Amino acid sequence: MSRLLHYPSGMLLALALTLGACSHDDAPAPLSVTASTDPNAAPTIEPSSSAVTPPTKPLDPAAAFDLDNALFLPTPPNAAPVPAPWAPGAPRAFGEDLAQDHRSADGWEVVFSSFSTRSLSASSHLLLYNKYRGVMRLYVLNANGTVSNRAVLASTAQLQGSRAYASPLLAFASQAVVDPDQRPTSTSTLEPQSLSAATWYATEIELAYDSNMRTYDFASLALGWKLVSAEVADVRLGGTATGNSLPVAIQAPEVDFAGRGTYDGPAEMRLTGSGSVAALQQANLPTEAARNVLAQAAGTNWYRGLISQQPGNAGSLVYLPTQARVSVAADVLVASNSFALPGYDNTTVTGSAPQYNAAPGVFFLAARPVVTTQSSSGGTYTYTLDAASVRYRFNPAVTAIADIRNVRQEIVAAAPNKEWDAPIYTGTTLTANQQLNVYGVRVAFDVVPRNGSAAVHISKTFKADLR
């Protein structure tokens, strides 16, 4: 069987890397780590640019619908009605964590809709964006009657255009430890959504903020998104075999699942709320780490993503490290689309233009944070975060409607020669009797909407410069 396609660039899952300890004639003493946090160590918040939204085409009234209350989408008078993907009884392959998470008060905006009272489109899709989370969600209706035994969906998003290499938009979606110096152009997930006729599918990615969005156009930066139905076999997650079943979505470093082959290595499980925890439990997989992360419990192991404070944590997008093995045969095309992106002038784009046109993404860092390292002749290693080197760039479209609170940044490290499941040590200063495996600098904060809707907790780990 051929190997799954690996992207030509990008960083491997940093949690599976080890720095390697120095060799000693005698067995080393047990690892001892002292962590401290300086509450006065302030990061750098770079001034925001203008929050003025670039122009776009006016919305065609024939395509308008009420995102909060519509149970059916616009169709011509003599066409069969099409239920909205969140409507009661609507056939959908995605889970309940996403089913009712679509309301405008919670941040959702319509970017594109192929539905209109004027005509039927060859492609049936909705593209929504959440301005508090930085999440783009694609709904696709498999309206052509295709049915097979395929139980999994391979979702691959790719930046297109002459300047795709210059944008960090997919940095969060494709990297476990984010390198601000890298510009990944692709990301892929494997999701438990079975192929059925007249069924809705939903897939989503978290976007990083690109402060240069206004300088692009459709020819220089667009978003391609392909969905391929797949059959899987020999699935193992964290050492537990689940046969031909994938209980939750997974992502692996530099792998495009829209192909054929076997992957065996470091990966991440994706959680979208309490429904994901239930799916893990049903598959007899451990759930303690997932529950602790969603509850933001103290002492949790490494994770990344965003946690929604809605009931059941619905609408979260959290990644937990694991080891995965899966054989994939992705060969039934469900959809392939190319979208103009919000954030640049879309008045001259051919065809439909984004209805919501503010720049996407909540934030990004301007550069790698700096961690200074010192070692003594007595075998003491000290790691100190230069807090001012953590340079936040917050999207002015977000800070105009929400408050950024509880900003925190800290070193994340583990014992030498430890991998994804190792306990982590965090703090602005770490002192140890052995050299540590420094994953990077974790930044975290809460996005608190001013309209009173549920807050969002965002956590990312960035690659650091060790000096």
CB neighbour burial string for 387-407, b if at least 16 within 10 angstroms, e if fewer = bebbbbbbbbbbbebbebeee
pLDDT digits (tens, 9 = 90+) for 64-84: 999 999 999 999 999 999 999
Average pLDDT over residues 383-398: 97
In this prediction, residue 144 carries a pLDDT of: 64
pLDDT digits (tens, 9 = 90+) for 270-310: 999 999 999 999 999 999 999 999 999 877 778 999 999 99
φ, ψ of residue 171 in degrees (nearest 5): -65, -40
- CB atoms near residue 284 (< 10 Å): 11
Single-letter amino acid, residue 9: S
In this prediction, residue 4 carries a pLDDT of: 61
pLDDT digits (tens, 9 = 90+) for 401-444: 999 999 999 999 999 877 666 789 999 999 999 999 999 999 99
Rounded CA separation 116/123 (Å): 12
Rounded CA separation 210/343 (Å): 9
- CB atoms near residue 256 (< 10 Å): 20
Average pLDDT over residues 234-254: 94
Average pLDDT over residues 210-220: 97
Q: By percentage, how much of the chain surpasses pLDDT 90?
A: 82
In this prediction, residue 16 carries a pLDDT of: 43
φ, ψ of residue 173 in degrees (nearest 5): -75, -25
Kindly list the distances between the CA atom of residue 181 and the CA atoms of 98, 158, 170, 208, 371, in Å, as whole numbers in the listed order: 32, 18, 13, 13, 16
In this prediction, residue 420 carries a pLDDT of: 63
Q: Contact, 243 vs 235, CB < 8 A?
A: yes
In this prediction, residue 413 carries a pLDDT of: 95
Single-letter amino acid, residue 237: L
Pick 146 or 451 by higher pLDDT.
451
Average pLDDT over residues 349-374: 97
**pTM confidence score:** 0.93
Smallest Cα–Cα separation from 254: which of 1, 9, 3, 2?
9
In this prediction, residue 17 carries a pLDDT of: 38
Rounded CA separation 133/436 (Å): 33
**Residue 409 structure tokens:** 């940044």
> Mean pLDDT score of the chain, rounded to an integer?
91
First to last CA, the chain: 44
Q: Is the pLDDT of residue 6 over 90?
A: no
Kindly list the distances between the CA atom of residue 201 and the CA atoms of 116, 138, 150, 423, in Å, as whole numbers in the listed order: 20, 8, 13, 36
- CB atoms near residue 116 (< 10 Å): 19
Average pLDDT over residues 440-464: 97
In this prediction, residue 302 carries a pLDDT of: 84
Query: What confidence tier does 27 reach under pLDDT thresholds 50, 70, 90?
Result: low
Rounded CA separation 360/363 (Å): 9
Half-sphere exposure of 275 (CA within 13 A, CB side): 18
Alpha-carbon Rg of the chain, whole angstroms? Answer: 22
Average pLDDT over residues 106-119: 97
Q: For the chain, give the secondary structure using H, E and C.
A: CCCCEECCCCCCCHHHCCCCCCCCCCCCCCCCEEEECCCCCCCEECCCCCCCCCCECCCCHHHCCCCCCCCEECCCCCCCCEECCCCCCCCECCCHHHHCCCCHHHCEEEEEECCCCCCCCCCCEEEEEECCCCEEEEEEEECCCCCCCCCEEEEEEEEECCCHHHCCCCHHHHCCCECCCCCCCEEEEEECCCCCCCEEEEEEEECCCCCCHHHCCCCCCEEEEEEEEEEEEEEEECCEEEECCCCCCEECCCEECCCEEEEEEEEEEEECCHHHHHHHHHCCCCCHHHHHHHCCCCCCCCCEEEEECCHHHCCCEEEEEEEEEEEEEEEEEEEEEEEECCCCCECCCCCCCCCCCCCCCCEEECCCCEEEEEECCCCCEEEEEEHHHCEEEECHHHHCCEEEEEEEEEEEEECCCCCCCCCEEEECEEEECCCCEEEEEEEEEEEEECCCCCCEEEEEEECCEEC
Tokens 């969060």 locate to 172
Average pLDDT over residues 187-193: 97
pLDDT digits (tens, 9 = 90+) for 142-168: 876 666 678 899 999 999 999 999 999
